[in-house]
Structure 1
Amino acid sequence: MKVYAGARLPILIGAVLCLGANAQAAVETDTMSVSATVTNQCSLVVGSGGLAFGTIDVNDGSNVADDASVDLTLTCSTADAASASIAVGGCSHLTGSQRRMANSGATAFVNYDLYSDNGRSTPIAVGGTLNPTLGDTHSAGAVVTIYGRVPSGQALSEGEYTDTVTITTTYEPAP
């Protein structure tokens, strides 16, 4: 029997197809567990730099108050909080009800006041409370601005002055 070279190709293709039809892929199936723990909490973040009055030039003769402000952002990990409050407590160098910054040796002080409005007409007392408008605190956060003022007319000594104010947030999670 004489076989032509062109006839081998169909025989070879047929043999490969027969082998492929009998081969089967192995399949393995397994499961994985998925879990999460959701905590209901809110965090309060004070804006970068805190309440920074910058340089107060006592030699400029203007005797003008120096102003500054800082944003506080309340963000909750779950759905909106039903209510929240931010208490602005005492500070490291408080004397009576007057907030003060002190130099490094606590031998000289700069008085300052905190306010809840840009016009600086509503003072925040020591332990005073701010009530932020909550809205969607989960995605964007509720922002509350604290306004500060170094009153004019103080006899100030040259130096760097700092203070630390305690800020506490209390919230009630949404049901």
Structure 2
Amino acid sequence: MNVVSISGACASGTCRAATPTSHRPLRWLAGAALALAAGTAQAQCSVSASGLVFSGYDVFSATHNDSSATITISCSEATGYSLALSSANGSPQQPLLSSSDDALDYRLHQDAARSLVWGEGSFSLSGNTDGTQEHTVYGRIPAGQNVRVGNYTNTITVTLEF
């Protein structure tokens, strides 16, 4: 299993599959392992994400503040993967946008209707790609939160396992 993690609005990362090694292999086992490794192609995958940017939040508005971002998975050959998100502020199920004085509750959703919250049940998404696969993350700041004026931020870490 290989893991790639990225954080921030425009971060990206690349990971290559590692060849298994042993500290004290027998000579004939080492030779057999090298022969097998030489004949096996290893997938190369990368992950990138656009920033999830909300417009100005109006505490007097009865309308939710919605936004979306795209996570792009690219693999050199057919590869199964799982994708997970985690929040620096708050829990994965209840991330917070925070300023120096206050915090805004928001949610990350798997669907445009914003009915499937990331973090309810399994906080990951599985897929398979032999090229590029995009996943949209839908964000929502619920209306009716009484917060101070300020710049609110959070870091979401995207973890790709393949």
Structure 2 match to 1:35: none
Shift of 1:101: 0.8
Structure 2 match to 1:24: none
Structure 1 residues 135 and 97: alpha-carbon distance in aligned structure 2, compared to 1, 3 A threshold: closer
Q: Which runs of 5+ in 2 are unaligned?
A: 1-40
Aligned mate of 1:101, from 88, 97, 104? 97
1:2-151 equivalence runs, <5 A: 40-47=43-50, 50-58=51-59, 61-76=60-75, 78-81=76-79, 83-89=80-86, 91-94=87-90, 97-103=93-99, 105=100, 107-125=101-119, 128-132=123-127, 134-137=128-131, 141-151=132-142
* Bigger fraction of residues in strand: 2
Structure 1 residues 97 and 123: alpha-carbon distance in aligned structure 2, compared to 1, 3 A threshold: closer
Deviation beyond 6 Å, 4+ runs, structure 1: none
Aligned letter for 2:53?
A
- SS at the partner of 2:106? strand
Aligned letter for 2:78?
D
Structure 1 residues 108 and 146: alpha-carbon distance in aligned structure 2, compared to 1, 3 A threshold: same
Query: TM-score of the superposition, structure 2-length normalised?
Result: 0.68
User: Equivalents in 2 of 1:136, 1:43: separation in Å?
Assistant: 12
User: Equivalents in 2 of 1:96, 1:168: separation in Å?
Assistant: 13
Aligned pair count? 121
User: Equivalents in 1 of 2:77, 2:90: separation in Å?
Assistant: 37
CA deviations over 1:77-110 (Å, ceiling 9, x no partner): x2221x1110112x2221584210111x2x3001
Structural RMSD (CA): 2.0
Q: Look at both structures and tell me which one has the larger radius of gyration over its CA atoms.
A: 1
Work out the percentage of aligned pairs sharing the same amino acid.
30
